[in-house]
Amino acid sequence: MAIAVQPSLRFHQNSTFFPRNPRLFRNSQLCPPPVYYPARIRASSAVALEPESITEAKDTSDVDLFACPICYEPLIRKGPSGFNLPAIYRSGFKCRKCNKSYSSKNIYLDLTVTSGTKEYNEFKPAGTELFRSPLVSFVYERGWRQNFNRSGFPGPDEEFNMAQEYFKPAEGGVLVDVSCGSGLFSRKFAKSGAYSRVVALDFSENMLRQCFDFIKNDDTILSSNLALVRADVSRLPFSSGSVDAVHAGAALHCWPSPSNAIAEINRILRSGGVFVGSTFLRVSSSTPALLRPFRQRITSNYNYLTEEEIEDLCISCGLVNYTKKVQQSFIMFSAQKP
């Protein structure tokens, strides 16, 4: 998760530099100029960051969105300009403060704290590890998510339209699709043209590879302002106040700590930024009283919450203007950064 641009465009294998894209401002729409990059991207070592590149950081990169997940300092970028999959893949990133380098690996940019470790291996809760499975990642859009309609989910197209209504105040800005899975909604957000940059972010390497497998067959997305990033939702690699919109579709119940995650989402949102999430409710108003204790036991492996708990959590993390839409066990909610 080889890259082809427009079928008519092939470029020299030794081409190193890309035309510079203008800096992105809020409410701007970026139409990237034709660029030239290899017909296949090889999963090889990342671009090295040489010492002299540090003094040129502000001139060589138009991307100051990404930050170090350790200290949250903006990352220095070395490589071709532009915010799209080929340009970011061929770039290297480094934290000036921590002196740690981050690189693209297998087409996604790894911005986890453990990026680059060789001996250390960290295991997450069972719910998180499940979605790192190649099999689960493969079937997620090929049957798994279609079953959500049994719990009241209205279907991807309607969910997208609902989210877009909530995101109207953030149009033209940066959108991060956290826990994006195979990129079902990330692709929709990127194709909508409503956002200057879209980041498809997930902790699962295999979900991001599946996301790329879908993207590589659609030139309109491949050349759009979209990046694939591996990161922990409880340690988001963005500068504080740098993001206009955060989407989390069918995700909150899978997070090890929803409170830490929503606190992080609040941190990266700018003032007035919008957070939209959807999830399964542990119980809803339609759940018979006799079944509520039973449902709480069978859902104990995930952080399924009630309507009241979700609202309370968003407010306690500093978000305001909370609204929701509920259908059976499905809830979509929205809140804003003050």
pLDDT computed for residue 135 by the predictor: 86
- In the chain, count of helices (H) and strands (E)? 11, 11
Instruction: Return the H-helix or E-strand segment holding 239.
Output: none
- Indicate the average pLDDT of the chain: 81
User: Which residues neighbour 233 within 8 Å (Cβ) at sequence distance 6 or greater?
Assistant: 178, 179, 201, 203, 248, 251, 255, 261, 264, 265
Q: Which of 30, 16, 15, 97 is nearest to 63 (CA)?
A: 30
Report pLDDT for 45.
38
Kindly give the parts of the chain with pLDDT less than 70: 1-63, 106, 284-301
183: closest CA among 168, 198, 165? 198
Question: Rg of the chain's alpha carbons, rounded to an integer?
Answer: 20
What token pair was written down for 101?
A: 């380098």
CA angle 172, 175, 179 (to 5 degrees): 165
DSSP-assigned letter for residue 217: T
DSSP, collapsed to helix, strand or coil, labels residue 205 as helix
Q: What is the pLDDT of residue 133?
A: 86
Stated pTM of the model:
0.77
**Could you read off the pLDDT of 75-120 as tens digits, one per residue?**
999 998 889 898 998 999 999 999 999 988 768 999 999 998 989 9
What is the CB neighbour count within 10 angstroms for residue 303? Answer: 21
Cα four-point dihedral sign 91, 94, 115, 178? negative
pLDDT at position 224, please? 87
In angstroms, rounded to a whole number, what is the distance separating the alpha carbons of residues 332 and 322?
11
